[in-house]
Each structure stands twice: as structure tokens, then as C-alpha cells.
């Protein structure tokens, strides 16, 4: 009789638990429906409280983006995606080829370049890419400035990759003989012997690329150059990604600039673009080499720029891609407009 009573109590308890769980799920469903309804109501009034300029004759077709790509930062992979999308999304991709691979333009060419890309309407919208330092358009007599984007990489990783690239090439053009072909000296041996190819001064590349065309930008270890690079990165670039998070960089561009990059994320995931231009026969440096390189003030400054860029990229990414669970997409609108 006692066992029957216990069984009855247990059954009642189970029923109560099931009822509680059911109502909790219903409450959660209703809360979710309420959030969705609240969002739809916001969107319903969105158009009336947001300013949309009257469309021009060309609209987004005037878009000009410059990717002043730093060597050995994964730039070929990103550009490959752009070339694959350009026909489908109806924009042009143009490579900037400067004599002798110079990274800085003469003053006259700075002016001509600025006039060319802003007034060459036949190729707009356009993505220009090339190994060229940041160019400030403020004093070059143009009415509308282009949008700058870029990628940055850990400075030692970039240097090691470039060191072996000059000797062994890459999988993008495997049969092309590089200028250090046949040199079997490892990066560790190079550092140990104090050879010029692995001199920390060779890491002074990302700072000047973001700093620009000023003479001080290209003096290794110049503090002003570092501060100017940080300023430009935040104030003159739409977004600067990091090589290790290429996918997120592409997704952000697709979100912000769909005119060019619509479908870029899916294409990158489903193609081989993430494996383009990998340096062949690259040997990771040992810990002793790493510690020696890190003693250099050049490494510290280049790494400071990288860490600065990484923190800023994480901030941008969080606002665009990493919204909290059950949160709604951010919108902005205007209200309390007077007089009516």
C-alpha cells in the first residue's frame, strides 16, 4: 500500500514538472514572439524616421575602394575573391602596377592617381589593389575620397613568410624562380649569423604602409610614423582585418559594402581562395630566434600596431557579427522632429 502511495506521489510530481516545463516553454515562446513583434513595429516606422538622400544618377555605382595591400598578409586570397565576384556583382578590379614595385608615389603621380580614380567613371564601381602606401586624398583636389580597406599580420610571421617566399616561392606560381632561389639557409641560421635578410629592420613594412607617403614613415623605428599609422587605421580606413581572421574580414565587407561583396562569404567558404599563395617549405623559427627578434625595437613597434589593429577589428566585429543571443539587429532612426 505504501509503494502505491509513493508511486502516486511520484506520478503527480512528474505531471507537475511537465506542466511547469510546458508553461516555461510557452512563456519563452511568447517572449520571443514579443521581441520579434517589437522589432517589426520598429522597422515599420523605420523608413519614416530615417533620412535617405535622393538617389543620384549613379548611386552606389560611384563606389571606389582602395586595398593598398601589404606584402605577405594573405592579400592574394582576398583579391582572388574580388576577381571571382566582379563579373557577377558588376564592378571592376584593377591592379596598381608601380614602376620597380615602388611603394611610394612621386608627388606628381599622387595628384594624377587621385584625379584618375575619382574621375574615371567608366570603370566605377571599382576596387583598386596594389602594394602602395596609404595616400591621403585631403590635399589632392578631389571632391570625393575613396574608401580604404586593408589586412595586417603578425610582424614576425610576415617576415618569416617573406624570407622563405624569396627562396622557395609559393603554391600560386610554383614554377617561378625567386631571386633567392637555391639559398638553403634557414631563418634560424640567418638570425644566428646576423645576416641582412632577417634583420629586424625588414619588419618595418606595415607601419609605413599605414603611415603613408611622408618621409618619416619610412624611417625604421620612427615613433611619429607609428602614431600616424594608428591614426590612419582608425580614421581613414573603413575596416582593417587580420590575416588569421580573413573570413570575418570578408563577411564584414559583405555586410557593409554589399554592392561589391554580396556573396563573398559563401564564395570564400566554398572555394579554394583561403589556400592561395602559401609560402612553400616554410620552417617555423625556434624559440631562441623568436626571443632574439622580440628584443628589437622594430618588432615592438610593428607588434604594437598589429595589437592595436587587432583590438580595433575585434570591436568592429563584435558590433557587426557577434550580437548577443535573441538580440535584434541594430537600426537607427530620427524622432521628435519639429516643426512637423
161-213 tens-digit pLDDT: 989 888 887 655 555 544 565 678 999 999 999 999 999 999 999 999 999 99
In-domain check, residue 114: yes
In-domain check, residue 241: yes
Q: Which pLDDT score, from 0 to 100, does residue 59 have?
A: 58
Cis peptide before 339 (omega within 30 of 0): yes
Provide the number of structural domains found in the chain.
1
In-domain check, residue 326: no
Query: Which range marks the domain in which residue 306 is found?
Result: 62-320
Rounded to 5 degrees, what are φ and ψ at 286?
-80, 170
Q: Would you call 45 exposed, middle or buried from its count of C-beta atoms within 10 A (0-12, 13-18, 19+)?
A: exposed
In-domain check, residue 28: no
Please state the pTM of the whole predicted model.
0.79
Of 152, 124, 141, the closest CA to residue 67 belongs to 152
In-domain check, residue 279: yes
CATH of the domain at 288: 3.40.50.300
Q: Which pLDDT score, from 0 to 100, does residue 43 have?
A: 42
DSSP codes joined into one string, 230-282: HHHHHHS-SEEEEGGGHHHHHHHHHHH-HHHHTTHHHHHHHSSGGGTTPBTT-
Residues 129, 175, 213, 312: which is the catalytic one?
A: 129
pLDDT values of the chain reduced to their tens digit, one per residue, 340 residues: 556 666 667 677 777 767 776 777 677 666 655 555 544 454 444 444 555 555 444 558 899 999 999 999 999 999 999 999 999 999 999 999 999 999 999 999 999 999 999 999 999 999 999 999 999 999 898 988 999 999 999 999 999 998 988 888 765 555 554 456 567 899 999 999 999 999 999 999 999 999 999 999 999 999 999 999 999 999 999 999 999 999 999 999 999 999 999 999 999 998 875 555 466 567 899 999 999 999 999 999 999 999 999 999 999 998 887 655 555 667 777 888 889 7
Tell me whether residue 5 is one of the annotated catalytic residues. Answer: no
Laid out side by side, the sheet with 64-67 consists of: 92-95, 126-129, 64-67, 147-152, 239-242
In-domain check, residue 235: yes
In-domain check, residue 56: no
Cα–Cα distance, 4 to 1 (Å, whole number): 5
Cis peptide before 274 (omega within 30 of 0): no
SS (H, E, C) 151-187: EECCHHHHHHHHHHHHHHCECCCCCCCCCCCCCCCCH
Are the C-beta atoms of residues 198 and 159 closer than 8 Å to each other? yes
The cell numbers describing 200, all together, are 629586424
Q: Which pLDDT score, from 0 to 100, does residue 37 have?
A: 53
Q: Which pLDDT score, from 0 to 100, does residue 179 have?
A: 58
Cα–Cα distance, 128 to 148 (Å, whole number): 10
Percent of the chain with pLDDT over 70: 76
Q: Which pLDDT score, from 0 to 100, does residue 56 have?
A: 47
Q: Which ranges in 58-205 belong to alpha helices (H)? A: 75-89, 107-119, 155-168, 187-193
DSSP 202: G
Are the C-beta atoms of residues 253 and 265 closer than 8 Å to each other? no
Residues 5, 45, 103, 131: which is the catalytic one?
A: 131
Tell me whether residue 95 is one of the annotated catalytic residues. Answer: no
Cα–Cα distance, 15 to 146 (Å, whole number): 66
Interacting residues of 101 by C-beta distance below 8 A, sequence separation 6+? 131
Helix, strand, or coil (residue 94): strand
In-domain check, residue 41: no
Q: Which pLDDT score, from 0 to 100, does residue 259 have?
A: 96
Helix, strand, or coil (residue 131): coil
Q: Which pLDDT score, from 0 to 100, does residue 284 have?
A: 93
Amino acid at each position: 500500500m505504501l509503494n502505491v502511495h509513493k508511486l502516486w506521489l511520484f506520478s503527480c510530481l512528474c505531471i507537475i514538472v511537465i506542466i511547469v516545463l510546458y508553461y516555461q516553454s510557452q512563456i519563452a515562446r511568447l517572449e520571443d514572439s514579443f521581441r520579434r513583434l517589437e522589432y517589426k513595429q520598429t522597422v515599420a516606422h523605420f523608413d519614416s524616421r530615417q533620412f535617405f538622400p535622393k538617389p543620384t544618377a549613379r548611386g552606389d555605382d560611384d563606389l571606389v575602394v582602395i586595398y593598398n595591400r601589404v606584402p605577405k598578409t594573405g592579400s592574394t586570397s582576398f583579391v582572388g575573391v574580388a576577381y571571382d565576384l566582379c563579373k557577377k556583382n558588376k564592378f571592376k578590379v584593377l591592379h596598381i602596377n608601380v614602376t620597380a614595385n615602388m611603394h611610394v608615389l612621386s608627388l606628381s603621380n599622387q595628384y594624377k592617381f587621385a584625379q584618375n580614380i575619382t574621375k574615371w567613371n567608366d570603370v566605377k564601381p571599382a576596387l583598386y589593389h596594389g602594394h602602395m602606401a596609404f595616400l591621403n586624398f585631403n590635399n589632392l583636389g578631389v571632391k570625393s575620397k575613396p574608401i580604404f580597406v586593408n589586412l595586417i599580420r603578425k610582424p614576425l610571421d610576415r617576415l618569416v613568410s617573406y624570407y622563405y617566399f624569396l627562396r622557395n616561392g609559393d603554391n600560386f606560381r610554383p614554377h617561378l624562380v625567386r631571386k633567392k632561389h637555391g639559398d638553403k639557409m634557414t631563418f634560424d641560421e640567418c638570425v644566428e649569423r646576423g645576416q641582412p635578410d632577417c634583420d629586424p629592420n625588414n619588419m618595418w613594412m606595415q607601419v609605413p604602409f599605414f603611415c603613408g607617403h611622408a618621409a618619416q614613415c619610412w624611417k625604421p623605428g620612427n615613433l611619429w610614423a607609428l602614431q600616424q599609422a594608428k591614426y590612419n587605421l582608425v580614421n581613414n580606413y573603413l575596416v582593417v582585418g587580420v590575416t588569421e581572421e580573413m573570413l570575418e574580414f570578408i563577411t564584414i565587407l559583405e555586410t557593409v559594402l554589399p554592392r561589391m561583396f554580396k556573396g563573398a562569404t559563401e564564395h570564400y567558404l566554398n572555394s579554394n581562395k583561403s589556400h592561395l599563395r602559401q609560402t612553400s617549405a616554410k620552417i617555423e623559427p625556434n624559440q631562441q630566434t623568436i626571443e632574439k627578434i622580440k628584443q628589437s625595437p622594430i618588432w615592438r613597434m610593428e607588434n604594437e600596431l598589429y595589437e592595436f589593429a587587432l583590438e580595433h577589428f575585434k570591436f568592429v566585429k563584435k558590433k557587426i557579427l557577434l550580437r548577443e543571443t535573441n538580440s535584434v539587429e541594430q537600426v537607427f532612426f530620427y524622432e521628435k522632429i519639429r516643426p512637423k
